[in-house]
Amino acid sequence: MRGPRHTRLWRLLGAAAIALALAPLLVSGAGAQTPTWRHGLISAHSDAGFFFMVQNGFAEKQGLKLEIVQFKTDITALQSLIAGDLDSFEAGPASSMVAAGRGGDIRIIGCNWQALPYVIYARSTIGSIADLKGKTVAISAPAGFPAIIARGILEKNGVPPETVNFANLGADVERYKAVLAGVADAAVVSDEYEPIIERQGLKGLIAAKDAFPDYIRQCAMTTGKTLATRRDDAVRFLMAEMTALRYALSHRDDALRLTREMTGLKADDPRPEFVFDQAVRTHAIDPDWPVPMTKLRWMQEQLIRDGSIKQSFDPALVVDAGVRARALERLAAK
């Protein structure tokens, strides 16, 4: 028979064995960290309540730590994505399609804002698009979304783009201020300035959505490499974006409050209310993030005509619809 000493020894050995078996699990659990997702956005302005709402706990609910990096142009955001400094970014899909047409590893995973909110605003001395010949038009960058829109509108109105002087002047606010200061004669900027242009002595020449109703304003882009290594995180990211956008659309006061916090706009500035109400009224935003292939194909045709894309390719090769589909499935199951 075993005496008390042997019994205690076996108990100690048994406890040690259990501890050794559990140790890897305990270490793994203690060392596990919430994965970080770095997302790029164009600098906050009057629609910030829609785009930045996701940082208010929605990503954490999906098991992600979200870091948002702001950029003045879609080109610099795209360059950061390609360099591996971002996991995704949101902007107009045109520059990403151009990059994909040149062999870039770009994937569109969803589009939240379906219509263009851009307008060509000009000084009061400019009577029409035709009057821009020989004048200076402010854009963000030569291959950026505002530049592509400007060239398309000029051509559609019979003004050769090469007869216009394009000035690369950064984000919307810089471009708008350039027109106010007389540095530029016109600029492609967001229609958020509509409520204040008249009292500032400017005029709207043409709305981009009227000239190009099939242009998509904003999509989320990532890379094939990221999807190959972090596909589940991409699904979680899009789930967070979907729930955040649904919340913003149904909580006007919260969205407007966030916009003012992000931009510093004063309480008497009418732009946040104008942007929010117009987006809701026109159903410009889709919180389910669809990828409209018909519109992407149309956009590719415009980019080929513009000369930004040299050779046609199937836009479906740039789209990964599976991320969105899986995100919607998971949300529906909750």
Same domain, yes or no: 94 and 149: no
Same domain, yes or no: 175 and 233: no
Same domain, yes or no: 231 and 315: yes
Q: How confident is the model over 44-56, as a mean pLDDT? A: 95
Task: Count the residues in the chain.
Answer: 334
| Domain, as residue range, for 105 | 36-115+215-333
Got the DSSP string for 165-195?
Answer: EEEE--SHHHHHHHHHTTS-SEEEEEGGGTT
What digits encode the pLDDT tens for the residues 144-191?
A: 888 888 998 999 999 999 999 999 988 888 999 999 999 999 999 989
154, 185, 211 - which closes a domain:
211
**Backbone angles phi and psi of 231, in degrees to 5:** -60, -45
pLDDT at residue number 146? 86
Domain assignment of residue 15, yes or no:
no
Domain assignment of residue 10, yes or no:
no
Q: How confident is the model over 203-229, as a mean pLDDT? A: 92
Q: How confident is the model over 199-204, as a mean pLDDT? A: 92
User: In this structure, are residues 198 and 156 in contact, taking their beta carbons and an 8 Å threshold?
Assistant: no
Domain assignment of residue 52, yes or no:
yes
Domain assignment of residue 265, yes or no:
yes
Same domain, yes or no: 228 and 281: yes
Same domain, yes or no: 96 and 235: yes
CA-wise closest residue to 171 among 317, 29, 43: 43
pLDDT at residue number 32? 59
Same domain, yes or no: 242 and 323: yes
Contacts of 322 (CB under 8 A, 6+ apart): none
Same domain, yes or no: 199 and 315: no
User: How far is residue 228 from each of residues 90, 105, 231, 232, measured CA to CA in Å?
Assistant: 20, 12, 6, 10
Same domain, yes or no: 96 and 198: no
CA-wise closest residue to 117 among 42, 177, 192: 192
Same domain, yes or no: 147 and 178: yes
Same domain, yes or no: 167 and 313: no
Same domain, yes or no: 206 and 220: no
pLDDT at residue number 310? 87
Domain assignment of residue 154, yes or no:
yes
Domains: count for the chain: 2
Same domain, yes or no: 125 and 159: yes
Q: Is 209 strand, coil or helix?
A: helix
Domain assignment of residue 27, yes or no:
no
